[in-house]
Amino acid sequence: AQTVTQSQPEMSVQEAETVTLSCTYDTSESDYYLFWYKQPPSRQMILVIRQEAYKQQNATENRFSVNFQKAAKSFSLKISDSQLGDAAMYFCAYRSRLRTGKLIFGQGTTLQVKP
């Protein structure tokens, strides 16, 4: 069975600084997808960024980028130029290519942004 682990329950960053959230996963599959979701205090979960395992190039979405290390089974999220609106809980998630739709989530990391 696949598992996703986020070992940092809480992180904090100064506004305008850069922060990296860690995620590791375990799978025997070679083809899968990885995601970072954001859950602001209002609780509506939204997708931040996605990565396809067969792509070597790291995904980027504006100030958000990932460091995908397939051999190490690591998928970290880097937030550059942090803003107050980035404060939220962040979840790393895994999806098998073969099992459409089903996501496996990590435990979550609460990010605090200090002004």
Partner 1 sequence: DVKVTQSSRYLVKRTGEKVFLECVQDMDHENMFWYRQDPGLGLRLIYFSYDVKMKEKGDIPEGYSVSREKKERFSLILESASTNQTSMYLCASSVPSSAPSTDTQYFGPGTRLTVL
Select the span of 19-27, 65-73, 77-85, 101-109 touching partner 1 (CB under 8 A): 101-109
82 binds partner 1, rule: CB under 8 A? no
CB-based contact 86:37 (threshold 8 Å): no
Q: Is 82 helix (H, G, I), strand (E, B) or coil?
A: coil
35 binds partner 1, rule: CB under 8 A? yes
Burial class (CB in 10 A: 0-12, 13-18, 19+), 55: exposed
Residue 66 CB, nearest approach to partner 1 (Å):
13
Residue 79 CB, nearest approach to partner 1 (Å):
19
Q: Phi/psi of residue 85, each to 5°?
A: -70, -5
**How many residues belong to the site for partner 1 (CB under 8 A)?**
25
DSSP bridge partners of 94: 34, 104
The residue ranges that bind partner 1 (CB under 8 A) are: 4, 6, 9, 33, 35, 42-47, 50, 52, 91, 95, 97, 100-108
